[in-house]
């Protein structure tokens, strides 16, 4: 649907932008038409509303005599939107910034005709997201525009694209080579569109570690310390960083920049050691940071960095969150006063822990930026439970500590094979906590339908497919589904270890997946099946994973008896699981090519095809055993040693027993 703009026939000449509600349209609780007077318009808001209407985000209806809404710019401290009755049929909405006004618009759409939405305010001057565009999935410009509209309706006013080397650099043909790197025009288009919606795009790059994709090329041997860390002290390193900064300076209007520098664990231990000798890692890090900060100042940038290296280097174990970490005074004094420290923490469930670490950052003399997470990494779908139990306390602690800036990371570790659109259920939850005292499910559901066009309750249930709940403590801790998705049909390391530790675990998991599959049955192929994540894909995953548990049991029973008359039935069950794998892969391909550049999808395709082939291999071995060609299936003879599950759920740990990555 499109919204038309013009002169409101019933409006006085000095009226600010108006909303007129008409009769409800099919599929929407509320429809409205935006009309503007010809005088005293507010360009900032008109441009934002136009962007929403052009995309069909705002429903259209012939103007009528419904509720009229007057927009007023307020100057309140912080961010907020407030509503008041205006005459018999009017509402006045006062707002502090464009993104707050768009959240207010979402409140109006969600409230219903004539209802007065609740006032809302946020202590966060900045409420943003960071989308990982460095682990295979580089989102297309048009799809990210859709994200920006949805983010604005939720009340976000900042966004970052995490780009290690997935952006083009003039004169550097190997930088971002075959990785779907953003061209300058693409980045400018994103920045300009975000600005229309009141969202600040901040560059988010790496200038020290996490650059293994770049450093693998011989062209960058000169600037390589270790496989993933740049060489501090090498002039060519700073020449390259200058090019990075110049590129972003010319494509994004913001004078803020995130320059990364996290998890550079091997700093100074490679070519640096050969060239300059041993030096304290604290000193190497601060030397590099100060040099990069000088380059940023020359370009008018106000940089931020991830804070973990200071805490890691002060800890014997290298842990970011060790309470015993000690950062020496001389190191603290050498931290540039004009850098911002980003405290990232996606893991803790105790508000007190977040409060403690916020205090530790302040003890360093810095007001931190909080980075929490909506769990998209190592997941096929946004992990509802993890986000609520771990991001929820982070937001609450940040509000209690009166922090002014918070953003939500959406990482793509281990292949970026998540349905990233599904993360909007988590983003809606976090935004509600940032704007309100508590998160009300029904209020979130109404806003989610307005912002994403989807069923929040279905998306919330679908999110449970990403975790296998543990019956021992009613699911307060969970095992990521990602490992079970790729657990090899023959090797089955995850199956063995959890089965050995708790035989009832897989029984509970099978029931868990069945509930999700059945609960989503009426939610697929509907008008909002793909609003905020594709429900049909989540249901397919739940069916696949549940059947995989039952099939593993069937294989073990058959292997114990080896009844050739039952073999055909077992083969049919394997074929059914293979069919679900194929359907999952086909849907993943469509999603990826619609939303992201094709580079990186080869990894996902190889994984899916390889997993299917391993099921075929299981069939071959079972037939060989039944025919007497072989006496045993060696992989099925192995028993799990020691304590359960010493590995992670990464693909390489569950899909293969040999070294190396796929």
Q: What tens digit of pLDDT does each residue of 290-312 get?
A: 999 999 999 999 999 999 999 99
The CA–CA distances, whole Å, from 614 to 4, 480, 564, 609, 633 equal 55, 22, 21, 9, 14
State the alpha helices, DSSP H only, in 162-280. 184-196, 212-215, 235-251, 271-276
State the alpha helices, DSSP H only, in 77-183. 98-111, 141-154
643 inside domain: yes
31 inside domain: yes
Which residues have CB under 8 Å from 648's CB, separation 6+?
A: 378, 483
Residue 60, pLDDT above cutoff 60: no
Least confident of 2-11, 543-552, 616-625: 2-11
Is 136 found in the same domain as 45?
no
Give bridge partners of residue 259 from the DSSP assignment.
Answer: none
Report the C-alpha gap between 536 and 542 in whole angstroms: 10
Give bridge partners of residue 330 from the DSSP assignment.
Answer: none
457 inside domain: no
Average pLDDT for 452-459:
95
Average pLDDT for 493-506:
88
**Which among 62, 94, 121 is the end of a domain?**
121
Rg for the chain, CA atoms, rounded = 27
High-pLDDT (> 70) share of the chain, %:
89
27 — pLDDT class (breaks 50, 70, 90): very low
Q: What tens digit of pLDDT does each residue of 330-349 get?
A: 999 999 999 999 999 999 99
Is 192 found in the same domain as 285?
yes
Residue 34, pLDDT above cutoff 90: no
**What's residue 39's pLDDT?**
33
Place of tokens 């604290």: 282
Report the C-alpha gap between 413 and 590 in whole angstroms: 21
Average pLDDT for 593-616:
98
Is 353 found in the same domain as 497?
no
Report the C-alpha gap between 262 and 584 in whole angstroms: 34
**What's residue 642's pLDDT?**
74
Is 238 found in the same domain as 171?
yes
CB 197 within 8 A of CB 98: yes
Least confident of 76-90, 156-170, 500-514, 536-550: 76-90
CB 446 within 8 A of CB 367: no
Q: What tens digit of pLDDT does each residue of 163-172 get?
A: 999 999 999 9
**What's residue 438's pLDDT?**
85
Instruction: Return the structure tokens found at 223.
Output: 């600037």
Residue 2, pLDDT above cutoff 70: no
Report the C-alpha gap between 491 and 359 in whole angstroms: 47
Instruction: Return the structure tokens found at 40.
Output: 């005293």
Place of tokens 């890692």: 281
By 3-state DSSP, what share of the chain in percent is helix, strand and coil, each rounded to 5?
A: 50, 15, 40
Is 495 found in the same domain as 375?
no
Question: What order do you get walking across the sheet with 120-122 strand by strand?
Answer: 68-73, 90-95, 79-86, 120-122
CATH number, domain with residue 556: 1.20.120.670
Q: How many CB atoms lie within 10 A of CB 339?
A: 20
122: nearest Cα among 432, 369, 445: 432
* DSSP-based three-state secondary structure for 342: strand
Instruction: Return the structure tokens found at 497.
Output: 């270890």
Residue 33, pLDDT above cutoff 80: no
**What's residue 479's pLDDT?**
86
Report the C-alpha gap between 620 and 638 in whole angstroms: 19
Q: Which has the higher per-residue pLDDT, 662 or 644? A: 644
621: nearest Cα among 570, 585, 655, 658: 570
Place of tokens 């020359």: 298
pTM, whole model, 2 decimals?
Answer: 0.93
Least confident of 169-183, 357-371, 488-502: 488-502
**What's residue 42's pLDDT?**
67
What stretch of H or E contains 89? none
Mean pLDDT of all residues in the chain?
89
Q: How many domains does the chain have?
A: 3
262: nearest Cα among 209, 219, 304: 209
Is 447 found in the same domain as 315?
yes
**What's residue 25's pLDDT?**
32
Range of the domain at 369: 126-451
* DSSP-based three-state secondary structure for 611: helix
431 inside domain: yes
**Which among 451, 473, 495 is the end of a domain?**
451
Instruction: Return the structure tokens found at 120.
Output: 């809302």
The interaxial angle of helices 281-298 and 235-251, nearest 10 deg, is 40
53 — pLDDT class (breaks 50, 70, 90): confident
637 inside domain: yes
Is 505 found in the same domain as 393?
no
Residue 325, pLDDT above cutoff 60: yes
Is 92 found in the same domain as 168?
no
10 — pLDDT class (breaks 50, 70, 90): very low
What stretch of H or E contains 159? strand 158-162
Residue 528, pLDDT above cutoff 90: no
Q: What tens digit of pLDDT does each residue of 370-404 get?
A: 999 999 999 999 999 999 999 999 999 999 999 99
**Which among 121, 149, 180 is the end of a domain?**
121
Average pLDDT for 513-537:
87
Q: Is 610 exposed, middle or buried (0-12, 13-18, 19+ CB in 10 A)?
A: middle
11 inside domain: no
Residue 474, pLDDT above cutoff 60: no
CATH number, domain with residue 180: 3.20.20.80
Is 42 found in the same domain as 130?
no
Relative to beta strand 340-344, strand 126-132 is unpaired
Q: What tens digit of pLDDT does each residue of 73-86 get?
A: 887 667 999 999 88
Residue 610, pLDDT above cutoff 60: yes
Q: Is 498 exposed, middle or buried (0-12, 13-18, 19+ CB in 10 A)?
A: buried
The CA-CA-CA angle for residues 239, 245, 249, to 5°, reads 140
186 inside domain: yes
Strands in 411-518 per DSSP E: 467-469, 478-480
Is 478 found in the same domain as 434?
no
Q: What tens digit of pLDDT does each residue of 402-428 get?
A: 999 999 999 999 999 999 999 999 999
Is 88 found in the same domain as 145?
no
89: nearest Cα among 7, 11, 6: 11
Relative to beta strand 340-344, strand 302-306 is parallel
Is 108 found in the same domain as 93?
yes
Instruction: Return the structure tokens found at 357.
Output: 């670490």
Place of tokens 């050995």: 500
473 inside domain: yes
Q: Which residues of 451-487 are buried (b: 16+ CB within 10 A; e: fewer)?
A: bbbbbbbbbbbbbbbbbbbbeeeebeebbbbbbbbbb
């Amino acid at each position: 649907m499109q919204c038309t703009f013009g002169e409101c026939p019933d409006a006085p000449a000095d009226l600010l932008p108006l909303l007129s509600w008409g009769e409800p349209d099919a599929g929407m609780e509320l429809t409205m038409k935006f009309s503007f007077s010809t005088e005293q318009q507010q360009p900032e808001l008109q441009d934002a509303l136009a962007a929403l209407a052009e995309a069909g985000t705002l429903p259209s209806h012939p103007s009528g005599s419904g509720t009229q809404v007057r927009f007023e710019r307020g100057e309140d401290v912080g961010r907020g939107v407030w509503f008041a009755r205006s005459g018999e049929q009017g509402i006045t909405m006062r707002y502090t910034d464009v993104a707050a006004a768009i959240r207010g618009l979402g409140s109006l759409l969600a409230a219903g005709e004539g209802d007065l939405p609740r006032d809302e305010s946020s202590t966060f001057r900045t409420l943003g997201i960071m989308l990982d565009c460095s682990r295979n999935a580089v989102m297309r410009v048009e799809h990210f525009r859709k994200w920006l509209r949805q983010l604005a309706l939720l009340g976000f006013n900042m966004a970052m694209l995490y780009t290690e080397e997935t952006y083009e650099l003039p004169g550097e043909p190997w930088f971002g080579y075959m990785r779907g790197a953003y061209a300058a025009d693409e980045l400018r288009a994103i920045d300009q569109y975000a600005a229309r919606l009141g969202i600040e795009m901040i560059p988010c790059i790496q200038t020290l570690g996490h650059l293994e994709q770049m450093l693998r090329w011989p062209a960058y041997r000169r600037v390589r310390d270790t496989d993933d860390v740049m060489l501090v002290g090498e002039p060519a390193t700073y020449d390259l960083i200058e090019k990075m900064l110049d590129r972003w300076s010319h494509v994004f209007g913001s004078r803020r920049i995130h320059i990364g520098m996290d998890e550079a664990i091997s700093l100074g231990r490679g070519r640096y050691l050969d060239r300059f000798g041993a030096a304290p890692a604290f000193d190497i890090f601060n030397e590099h940071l100060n040099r990069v900060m000088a380059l940023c100042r020359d370009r008018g940038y106000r940089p931020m960095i991830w804070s973990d290296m200071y805490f890691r280097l002060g800890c014997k174990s290298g842990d970011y969150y060790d309470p015993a970490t000690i950062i020496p005074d001389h190191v603290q004094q050498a931290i540039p006063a004009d850098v911002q420290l980003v405290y990232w923490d996606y893991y803790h469930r105790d508000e007190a822990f977040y409060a403690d670490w916020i205090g530790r950052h302040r003890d360093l003399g810095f007001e931190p930026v909080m980075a929490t997470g909506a769990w998209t990494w190592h997941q096929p779908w946004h992990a509802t439970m993890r986000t609520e139990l771990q991001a929820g306390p982070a937001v609450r602690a940040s509000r209690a500590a009166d922090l002014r800036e918070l953003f939500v990371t959406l990482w793509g570790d281990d292949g970026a094979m998540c349905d990233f659109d599904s993360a909007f259920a988590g983003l809606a939850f976090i935004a509600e906590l940032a704007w309100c005292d508590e998160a009300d499910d029904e209020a979130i559901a109404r806003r989610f339908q307005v912002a994403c066009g989807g069923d929040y309750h279905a998306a919330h249930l679908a999110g449970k497919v990403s975790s296998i709940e543990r019956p021992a403590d009613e699911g307060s801790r969970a095992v990521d589904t990602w490992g079970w998705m790729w657990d090899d049909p023959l090797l089955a390391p995850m199956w063995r270890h959890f089965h050995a530790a708790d035989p009832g675990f897989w029984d509970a998991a099978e029931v868990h997946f069945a509930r999700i599959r059945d609960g989503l049955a009426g939610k697929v192929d509907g008008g909002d099946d793909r609003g905020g994540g594709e429900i049909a894909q989540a249901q397919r995953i739940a069916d696949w994973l549940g059947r995989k548990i039952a099939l593993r049991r069937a294989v073990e029973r058959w292997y114990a008896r080896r009844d050739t008359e039952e073999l055909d039935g077992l083969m049919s069950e394997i074929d059914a699981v293979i069919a679900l794998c194929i359907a999952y892969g086909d849907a993943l391909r469509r999603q990826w090519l619609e939303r992201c550049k094709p580079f990186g999808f080869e990894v996902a395709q190889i994984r899916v095809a390889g997993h299917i082939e391993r099921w075929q291999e299981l069939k071959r071995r079972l037939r060989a055993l039944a025919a007497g060609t072989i006496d045993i299936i060696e992989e099925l003879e192995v028993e799990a040693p020691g304590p359960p599950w010493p590995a992670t759920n990464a693909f390489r740990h569950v899909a293969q027993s040999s070294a190396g990555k796929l």
